[in-house]
């Protein structure tokens, strides 16, 4: 009987579907399972059902923004332990500080540098 290998699960929460379409093959090639949600409420629900090992979270989204998703996730006992890395076009220092204060593990700025994203994700997953 072959050993079952657990692949770490990554969830992208970003209202731009092209982001997930771009990231999915990169993460799958790197050995991760990958899923996506396209707004804040869907992302929070998907965190509970998919149980990702890490979330990549955009800030600028309709319905509820990434800061509110982060705040709600960290207040929810069921999902508060899931590490969240912000992946956003917002690059102001105030945004970075706010995300880190709300509990984000790291903060990456678009445009995306895939090797850097994979490096940061790997680092957060082993911490």
Tens digit of pLDDT for each residue in 6-22? 799 999 999 999 999 99
Give the position of tokens 């490096």: 119
The tokens describing 65, both together, are 């923004």
- Judged against a pLDDT cut of 70, whether residue 103 lies above it is answered with yes
The single residue listed with the structure tokens 């880190």 is: 100
- Across the chain, what does the average pLDDT equal? 94
Q: pLDDT at position 106, please?
A: 96
Q: What is the pLDDT of residue 2?
A: 55
Residue 64 near residue 84, CB atoms below 8 Å: no
Between CA 120 and CA 98 the distance in angstroms is 19
Cα gap 25→39, rounded to integer Å:
21
CATH of domain 9-126: 3.40.50.2300
Q: Report, as an integer, the average pLDDT of 45-66.
A: 96
**Domain residue ranges of the chain, discontinuous segments joined by +:** 9-126
Q: Under the phi-then-psi rule, with left for phi > 0, alpha for psi from -120 to 50, and beta for the rest, what region is 85?
A: beta
């Amino acid at each position: 009987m072959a050993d079952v290998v657990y692949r770490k699960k990554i969830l992208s929460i970003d209202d731009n579907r092209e982001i997930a379409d771009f990231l999915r093959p990169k993460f799958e090639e790197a050995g991760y399972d990958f899923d996506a949600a396209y707004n804040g409420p869907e992302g929070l629900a998907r965190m509970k059902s998919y149980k990702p090992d890490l979330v990549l979270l955009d800030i600028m989204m309709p319905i509820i923004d990434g800061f509110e998703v982060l705040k709600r996730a960290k207040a929810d006992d069921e999902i508060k332990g899931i590490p969240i890395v912000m992946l956003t076009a917002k690059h102001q220092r105030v945004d970075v500080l706010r995300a880190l204060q709300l509990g984000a593990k790291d903060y990456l700025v678009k445009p995306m540098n895939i090797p850097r994203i994979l490096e940061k994700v790997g680092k957060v997953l082993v911490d």
